[in-house]
Chain A
Amino acid sequence: ETGVTQTPRHLVMGMTNKKSLKCEQHLGHNAMYWYKQSAKKPLELMFVYSLEERVENNSVPSRFSPECPNSSHLFLHLHTLQPEDSALYLCASSQESQGLAKNIQYFGAGTRLSVL
């Protein structure tokens, strides 16, 4: 148990559906992340929130919309997805300090998303 909980664990949705992924961290961290993990590709950073402000959006399509209402919760809202968006979506959190390389990211178990 890493202290980062993701729900649901599995999700199947059609291309016209709207769904949301939820992440909650119980570690008192001040930064949260969404990653996409596709087969045989490195983890791709999608969004970063630090102190509840979005600081990074790595050119993610607008059909993915993040929300961070407070430092413990992170959502990823999904709409009109494509089959190539099927992947494992991982949430992580860390305690960020400026310029310090050791800020360890702790991950949840992920949501395995299938888009039909």
Chain B
Amino acid sequence: AQKITQTQPGMFVQEKEAVTLDCTYDTSDPSYGLFWYKQPSSGEMIFLIYQGSYDQQNATEGRYSLNFQKARKSANLVISASQLGDSAMYFCAMREAKLGANNLFFGTGTRLTVIP
């Protein structure tokens, strides 16, 4: 079964608007972490934001926030005030604490295009 599901292959957003990228996950481990990465056309995977399963509040990092709904097993990324430089692939990933270093599971990604 897929550990991470990203159902939006592509998204468009107007510059300066907010956009939500969807991510759902599947795990039976009570301790896990959720990550979002950005991959521009240059190829580098850039870490954006982290949410722990026991964190009480939604994570925020500048213009990025994570809408964490534990009961629904969703961890959507919200980008506010979109900029042209936000155009890239975005990947959601999960790590389960019990299995250790080798189990960062990635989704298939969402390509975001910011329209001027």
Chain A positions within 8 Å of B, measured between CB atoms, are 2, 9, 31, 40-43, 45, 48, 50, 55-56, 58, 88, 90, 92, 94, 96, 98-110, 112
Contact = CB atoms under 8 A, between A and B. Distances in A.
Contact of B105 (A31, A42, A55): A42
Contact of A42 (B32, B96, B106): B106
A48 B103 CA distance: 10
Interface in B90-113: 91, 95-98, 100-109
Band of interface residues on B: 20 to 34
Contacts of B95: 101, 103
A56 B43 contact: no
A41 B43 CA distance: 15
B68 interface: no
B12 interface: no
Interface centre among B4, B50, B104, by most chain A C-beta atoms within 10 angstroms, is B104
Contact of B44 (A2, A96, A103): A2
Contacts, number: 71
Contacts of A90: 43, 45
Nearest to B35: A104
B106 A101 contact: no
Nearest to A40: B108
Contacts of A55: 100-102
A31 B37 CA distance: 19
A102 B52 contact: yes
Interface in B26-62: 31-33, 35, 37, 42-47, 50, 52-53
